[in-house]
Structure 1
Amino acid sequence: MKIAVLYGGVSAEREVSLSTGKQMMTALQEKGHEVVGVDFHPDRLQEIIALDVDMVVLGLHGKYGEDGRLQSVLDMLKLPYVGSGVMASALAMDKARSKQFFQGAGIRTAKELVLDRKLYKEAQVETLEFGFPAVVKPNHEGSTIGLTIAQSLADLKAGIETAFKHDTTVLVEEFIAGTEVTVAVMGGKGAVRALPVVEIVPKNTYYDYESKYAAGGSEHFVPARLDEATTALLQKQAVQAHEALGCEVYSRVDFIVPPDGSAPVILEVNTLPGMTPTSLFPDAAREIGLSYPDMMEELITLSLNK
């Protein structure tokens, strides 16, 4: 097939996307496809309109790539692409709204306070229902961009200002201590399955940007060191979250597993998860016998059938 890989983009996750795109192109070429690489920019839509390919693979992350906008352009051009459609992509990028869908599916979420830049006043955070530490993050960013773990009111206010530099909506959430895990989800309609749970042990205090993408920044245990019941629950809820948002083909669902035995807490669904050399989705695929090129071929096949 002739396949276009869109990568790069203009979001804060551009560097991650460049690495993802490179890996994807190499893998697809190994499978014998003719691959066209496009460093995507929304000001150069003519490059997309002019594409003459059988399939588009999205190696983009964040705004203008993962949020449904580009998917809508591809839909109008009748260009088939890998992954979720417009609505699911937009919902998954909106952390506050997606949490409402998770709650509707019976999945535990962290307590939260949603702040709007135009309406924000410091008095809104003088008293937090859930106290400190608190997590502050932009509502529409990934890869821990603009994230702060606030230990005090001063930290919280500074963290909110940082997050507002990246987004007009900011989420303040209770901090849930525990084991960070992620569940890759793959499949077509009626045949969606969860891959083995991956446990993440960051070298830094938190699973921050460096821990995610620097070589040796974190250790991944596949399968996660969890009991069977917790593993089964995480896999079930990952599929539920994927389907609640209307995701297609693949996604990656992040959770925290508290040490007290209480229910796992869902963090977010990633509709275009990282596919870099240190990424989690390929780790889970490898555990079920899918090499990186085989995994990409499977995603192409599922997308052709969606």
Structure 2
Amino acid sequence: MKKNIAIVMGGYSSESHISIKSGNVVYNHLNKNKYNAFRVLILKDKWVALNENDQEFAIDKNDFSFILNDKKITFDCVFNAIHGAPGENGQLIAYLKLINLKHTSAPFYQMALTFNKRDTLSAVKAYEIKTATSIYLNQGDEIHLDEIINKVGLPCFIKPNNAGSSYGISKAHKKEDILPAIKLAYKEDSEILIESFLNGTEVSVGVIQYQQETKVLPITEIVSENDFFDYEAKYEGKSQEITPARISKTQREKVEKVAKKVYQILGMSGFSRAEYIFVNDEPYFLEINTVPGLTEKSILPQQAQAAGISLEKLFENAIESALKNEY
């Protein structure tokens, strides 16, 4: 019998429209002979399942079901394609745990932990993973510009602690840039992170559970036309994403080892994509995404293709792995 799969998309953050693109790609590539796939749009004002004609059917939040042609539809598994809240920060995953519904992401605590950049850095630093020097601020804290510069130097990055897709991130080149950058970051989150600039080759490393093993995908080199890998660079073609990355064998082996270790330290399962910068051949961890972009042009699907894994196989593996998980 075919399994009923809910592909959740949308969400409550600035990344909602990107998530919808990812969710539709998953829907289009799932094997319809094996799965009954339904797109489920989760927005602040509504949770609805969509049919092929985009007709909406309200989701019953008691058990995540809906009524179609007078028949109650329940799900065997949820494919999580929500970037940002509530799909990537643990909220939706905790709800699915409460109603005992399988999903393609890591457990809810791991999702919450990794969505918080500050807490993620604290966790990996305990295992001697190299990271940039950083300062944390909460909205309302006093701002001492000279202290910030003395610790992290210039240029530096100012970013929201809980946000994705480079929303609210700025690169401050001089002292006068810092306060406007902090103000911008606070528009996305009440907690911010200020990090030292690392000068080196940036790479993106996908690590996934594939056929019951932790697999590091071919590495992507990021070459941004802009000052850093910002929203334009990620989504509007202002960057080159070169897979496999033009790095040495030593660099590749080091970052593969670190990426796999980080995946395990953070208790990941399912998809992940983490960013690193090489400084003197040593990979420095920047951040990890647990619901990375899944469109045909997104980095993780590019990496899977380079590894000989089609989107159909990639998505099917995520569902089959989820169905076997006990959490």
State TM-score, norm by structure 1: 0.93
Measure, in 2, the Cα distance between the counterparts of 1:249 and 1:127.
37
**CA apart distance, 1:278:** 2.0
Contact between 1:188 and 1:248, CA under 8 Å: does it hold in 2? Answer: no
Residue in 2 that maps onto 1:123: 144
Residue in 1 that maps onto 2:43: 41
**CA apart distance, 1:242:** 1.1
Measure, in 2, the Cα distance between the counterparts of 1:26 and 1:127.
48
**CA apart distance, 1:159:** 0.4
The one-letter amino acid of 1:25's match is: Y
Extract unaligned runs of 5+ from structure 2.
48-57, 66-73
Q: Report the CA distance shift for 1:31/1:145 in structure 2 as closer, same or farther (over 3 A).
A: farther
**CA apart distance, 1:139:** 0.2
More helix by share: 1
Measure, in 1, the Cα distance between the counterparts of 2:171 and 2:305.
33
**CA apart distance, 1:43:** 4.8
Residue in 1 that maps onto 2:268: 247
Q: State how 1:51-90 maps to structure 2 within 5 Å.
A: 51=65, 52-90=74-112
Measure, in 2, the Cα distance between the counterparts of 1:232 and 1:304.
32
Residue in 2 that maps onto 1:267: 286
Residue in 2 that maps onto 1:291: 310
* 1:83-108 Cα shifts (integer Å, max 9, x gaps): 21111101101101110111122210
Residue in 1 that maps onto 2:131: 109
Secondary structure of 2:82's counterpart equals coil
Q: Does 1:305 align with 2:308?
A: no
Structure of higher CA gyration radius: 2
Contact between 2:9 and 2:82, CA under 8 Å: does it hold in 1? Answer: yes
The one-letter amino acid of 1:115's match is: L
**CA apart distance, 1:252:** 1.0
Aligned residues: 302
Secondary structure of 2:256's counterpart equals helix
Q: Does 1:224 align with 2:245?
A: yes
* 1:227-276 Cα shifts (integer Å, max 9, x gaps): 11110111111111111111112211111123xx2421111111111112
The one-letter amino acid of 2:181's match is: G
Q: Report the CA distance shift for 1:241/1:157 in structure 2 as closer, same or farther (over 3 A).
A: same
Q: Report the CA distance shift for 1:105/1:126 in structure 2 as closer, same or farther (over 3 A).
A: closer
Residue in 1 that maps onto 2:176: 154
The 10-residue stretch of structure 1 (76-85 or 41-50) with the greater mean CA deviation from structure 2: 41-50
The one-letter amino acid of 1:35's match is: A
Extract unaligned runs of 5+ from structure 1.
none
Match of 1:211 among 224, 233, 244: 233
Measure, in 2, the Cα distance between the counterparts of 1:266 and 1:31.
41
Residue in 2 that maps onto 1:3: 5
State TM-score, norm by structure 2: 0.87
**CA apart distance, 1:123:** 2.3
The one-letter amino acid of 2:10's match is: G
The one-letter amino acid of 1:296's match is: F
Measure, in 1, the Cα distance between the counterparts of 2:26 and 2:183.
36
Identity of aligned residues (%): 30
Contact between 2:203 and 2:245, CA under 8 Å: does it hold in 1? Answer: yes
